[in-house]
Amino acid sequence: MQISLSRNSEVPLRQQLAEQIVFLITTGELRAGERLPSVRALARRAKVHHNTVSEAYQDLVRRKWLTRRRGSRLTVGARLDSGRQSPVNLDELINDSIHRAREMGFSLQVLTERVRERLLAEPPDHVLVVEQEAGLCEIIRKEAAASLRCRVETCSPEQFASEPARVIGAQVFAPNFAIEELSLLIPGNRPAVPIIYSGADQHIESIGKMKKPSIVAAVSVSESVLKTARGLFAPAIGRKHSFRAVLYSQKGRIDLRGVDLAFCDSLAFDAVTCRHKVHYQLVDPRCLEHLAMALTGVPTLKRTGPGNG
């Protein structure tokens, strides 16, 4: 810690010292969680009276640059200044916590269990979609992120079971049939929100209104969605119309100018060129509203649509 003070300056030594410590923090030379020298140690190093150091430290604690911990030396605090966060070294914060826990007689096992309990008790800061099929995961992720304006992660049920830390900080969003299987791993104070899919009555009705023989397509990144669409639209299509299932790889564009009507999922919509295309939102908007309430306690839903997110 490089400190250089001048007794010939009009600026008081206390202020010189305080501002130089602020400079060391903002430039990253002193990191969040790092312990500062004792008052007397820094006074000897800077060749000033210990009261000067004590007053500078008190000023920085008051301004929240430093944090005073009971039974320990002052440490650099994580502080927001001018819209920027001072550099934080997470490893140093963790090391400091481990060191202090050991000094107080706590074992690493006890520390681990207590930290996990505290993290699980914290409100969620992101959504975790748990779904077996990768394509469905991606569609749900897109629609949830567009509606909620928050981070959305995905994983399979197997990944969720084998990596229990995934649940920390997460609001789980999963199919209703899978929730019971996952329930033992989900905190009781933060139950999973079941995924409910949108109906297709309007889409089926639009097919029924087509008077001339037409080509109808479903475009999706999910094989499950295409399979469901084929069975769901079959009665409306009958023998009068023809049906095409198009699996989208999320690369390039899809030319369907020979198709009369294309139903596109949230990921495929912008990539399709067609005479008439319709966006199919996979997740029911009311379900997303429920998810928003679970995340924040207040409805913050932004209506989804092609190009959102």
> Where exactly are the structural domains of the chain?
13-104, 121-197+287-296, 201-280
For 40, counting Cβ atoms within 10 Å of its Cβ (0-12 exposed, 13-18 middle, 19+ buried), the class is: exposed
Q: Which fold has domain 121-197+287-296?
A: Rossmann fold (3.40.50)
Answer for the pair 277, 264: CB distance below 8 angstroms, yes or no. yes
Residue 84 has what pLDDT?
A: 42
285's tokens: 């908007």
Write down the residue that tokens 């198009």 correspond to: 246
Bridge-based pairing state of the strands 80-81 and 126-130: unpaired
222-242 burial string, b = 16+ CB within 10 Å, else e? Answer: beebbeebeeebeebbeeebe
Q: What CATH class does 13-104 carry?
A: mainly alpha
Domains 13-104 and 121-197+287-296 share a fold: no
Whole-prediction pTM value? 0.64
| Contact residues for 282 (Cβ-Cβ < 8 A; gap 6+) | 136, 139, 140, 143, 197, 198, 225, 265, 266
Q: Which of 150, 146, 111 is nearest to 128 (CA)?
A: 150
The pLDDT assigned to 9 comes to 81
Chain-centroid distance, C-alpha 29: 29
Cα separation, 280 vs 262, in Å, equals: 10
Q: Provide the sign of the torsion angle of the four alpha carbons 291, 293, 295, 298, taken in this order.
A: positive
Going residue by residue through the chain (309 aa), what tens digit of pLDDT does each one get?
A: 788 888 888 888 999 898 888 878 876 788 878 889 999 999 999 999 999 999 999 999 988 889 886 666 788 875 544 344 444 467 777 877 888 788 788 888 988 888 888 877 788 899 999 999 999 999 999 999 999 888 999 999 999 999 988 988 899 999 888 888 888 888 877 889 999 999 899 999 999 999 999 999 999 999 999 999 999 999 899 999 999 999 999 999 999 999 999 999 999 999 999 999 999 999 999 999 999 998 876 544 455 566 443
* Amino acid identity, position 2: Q
3-state DSSP assignment of residue 274: strand
